[in-house]
Chains A and B, each alone.
Chain A
Amino acid sequence: MTMTTTPRELPHQPWGRVRQSRRTADRLMKITATGFTFTAIFVLFWILGMLVVKGIGGLSVATFTAVTPGPGTEGGGIANAIVGSFVLTFLGIAIATPIGVLAGTWLAEYGRSSKLANLIRFINDILLSAPSILIGLFVYVILVEPFRGYSGWAGGVALGIIAIPVIVRTTEDMLNLVPGPLREAGAALGAPPSVVITSVTWRAAKAGMVTGILLALARIAGETAPLLFTALNNNFWFSPTLVGGVSNLPVTIYQFASAPYENWQQLAWAGSLIITVSILVLSIVARRIVAGSK
């Protein structure tokens, strides 16, 4: 760059005769954009650092084996909340996967660019960003109020409704990436559309579809608002029928974080660390699968 050793007259910087004001504006923009980017990254690491610092002290064997303590009792853990969260999240995914995959398949394979398919695609995109608390209210109105009681089923349905649009979207996108000649080859062998879809198209798009389901899992694992009025939360092991409240991690964190008992706060931090690390790992794994399949 700098030609200090050669005596030749060369412009010392690549800017040449660019006016000073233009140069300043350019430099300012570059500094601002870089600064903004690092601010966002800094916030991410700040949040993660906070979770590690405050949460790691709360991790012990009891955290994973004991049930959530009542008000004013010593010790305790969050075993019931962790298991409850697993149950609710997998219930949600179990409800959303068949519906989401089938709906995405219809959009990509049958509906294509028909008016109805475009409408469904549009509405699905809106559901994708609909406030999750409204989905909680909806499930309260259709499942909690009529049956007069909170239940894990209502919680699972609420999480499922949040997961469906995510799975619909990724399934359709992934199926659209499958080259048409593959389908034609299947059809040429005499296979009807359903067989072509299930044993050719789905198989070709498998990695991407699994990613969609993992992303949906990551999305609903930390959802709190829709569980507040559906699965509720309590300090006991839930009944196997899931009727009555089912303890779960996000609502436990919400209730324990600002409580006046020190062991509750400690458990809230430990729970936050567990849930965030699991979700971030899940998201990164999902991303890796996509990168690998490309």
Chain B
Amino acid sequence: MTAATDMTSIPGATPIVRKTPKATFDLVFRNASFGAALLVLVLLAGIMASMVIGGWPAFREFGLGFITSSVWDTQNDQYGAWPAIVGTLSTALIALVIGVPLSLGIAVYLTQLAPGWFKKPVATAVELLAAVPSIIYGMWGLFVFVPLFAAYVQIPLSNIVEGLPIVGTVLYSRSPSGLGIFTAGIILAFMIVPFIASITRDMLEQIPSVLRESAYGIGATTWEVVRHVLVPQAGVSIIGAVMLGLGRALGETMAVTFVVGNANRLSASILDPGSTIASRIANEFNEAMGLQLNSLIALGCILFFVTFVVLVIARLLVARVKRY
């Protein structure tokens, strides 16, 4: 600043008018950005608080029975979350069982097997699977996948397992409509694949290539390099990526609502219709009043805490590996 005033003392020169930045703008900018950053914390706290407060009447009315009860009776105002919780967990579990091998296969293909020119288009295609809206997965599931699944999997399978112990219960469908927990799990699997695959791919790419080269140098095959070098190196972060996929699968709403069948009772068979927390909220919320409304928000509260724990673990595992 002082240099500028010195220059103005040159005889004959017109004084230079310098725009001096206002200190207030600096302060306002700093505080505004700090406030915006704090808002992220406020949002999460707000979501948590609104779920707990909104769901409180249901928790108070039913106590722990809200979680363990299987009754969902709008006539007598009795609500229990158990079938929805089981539905949520089982669809997410099926999605992981199918989706994780798929994702790992894709990550290995993209990092180790694909020819150079082919990598980018394939990676883009896999990532576009994540861009397809949830409701479109629901449409595809309901109108394309469900009829095929009913005709070629559900009906033949039911005929085979009928009367057998255990599998006759778990895999038998009373109404082979194609809708059900298992179908929802399959659709969810394709929805979580791009997330798990792209994180795993990033992790595999970060592993120093010296490690791979030395393994190949002592005569290892590609499979042995993947199994004994890459997977142990990326291990924890792959689990983190899987947990992230689990978080997605637990809270996915529209696609599941289309194909899960929306049955309120619990069935022993994974091929029968069921419901998840998210699908039940989506289905009933707009017509709900009073205690039913509170019970639905209480369901949301349970979903929030389950996904919160899963996502915290996921982020901690993914972050731990990123450091080196």
Binding site for B on A (CB under 8 A): 18, 22-23, 25-26, 28-30, 32-37, 39-41, 43-44, 46-47, 50-51, 54, 98-103, 105-107, 109-111, 117, 119-120, 122-127, 129-135, 137-138, 140-142, 161, 164-165, 168, 190-195, 197-198, 218, 221-225, 228-229, 232, 250, 253-254, 257-258, 268-269, 272, 275-276, 279-280, 283-284, 287
Contact = CB atoms under 8 A, between A and B. Distances in A.
B227 to A, nearest CB: 8
A29 B226 contact: yes
Given A193-B30, A280-B132, 11 more contacts: A22-B223, A44-B126, A46-B140, A123-B41, A123-B44, A130-B47, A133-B281, A134-B300, A194-B25, A250-B254, A253-B139
Interface string B251-277: 111100010000000000000000000
B59 interface: no
A26 B317 CA distance: 29
Given A33-B109, A133-B300, A142-B46, A225 B315 contact: no
A123 B40 contact: yes
A127 B46 CA distance: 12
A270 B231 CA distance: 44
Interface of B: 1, 21, 23, 25-26, 29-30, 32-41, 43-44, 46-47, 50-51, 53-54, 101-102, 105-106, 108-110, 112-114, 122, 124-129, 131-140, 142-144, 190, 193-194, 197, 219, 221-224, 226, 244, 247-248, 250-254, 258, 278, 281-282, 285-286, 297, 300, 303-304, 307-308, 311-312, 314-315
Contact of A161 (B43, B113, B254): B43
Contacts of A129: 244, 247-248, 307, 311, 314
A168 to B, nearest CB: 6
B142 to A, nearest CB: 7
Nearest to B114: A37
Contacts of B38: 120
Contacts of A35: 105
B268 to A, nearest CB: 27
A33 B221 CA distance: 15
A40 B126 contact: yes
A51 B136 contact: yes
Contact of B128 (A32, A120, A272, A283): A283
Given A29-B222, A40-B126, A192 B21 contact: yes
A290 B39 CA distance: 28
A280 B128 CA distance: 7
28 contacts: A18-B221, A22-B221, A22-B224, A26-B221, A28-B223, A30-B222, A30-B223, A33-B105, A33-B109, A50-B144, A51-B136, A106-B33, A120-B40, A123-B40, A125-B315, A134-B300, A134-B303, A134-B304, A137-B54, A138-B50, A161-B43, A193-B29, A198-B29, A222-B132, A222-B134, A225-B282, A232-B286, A279-B131
Leading 3 A-B pairs by shortest Cβ distance = A131-B251, A222-B133, A36-B105
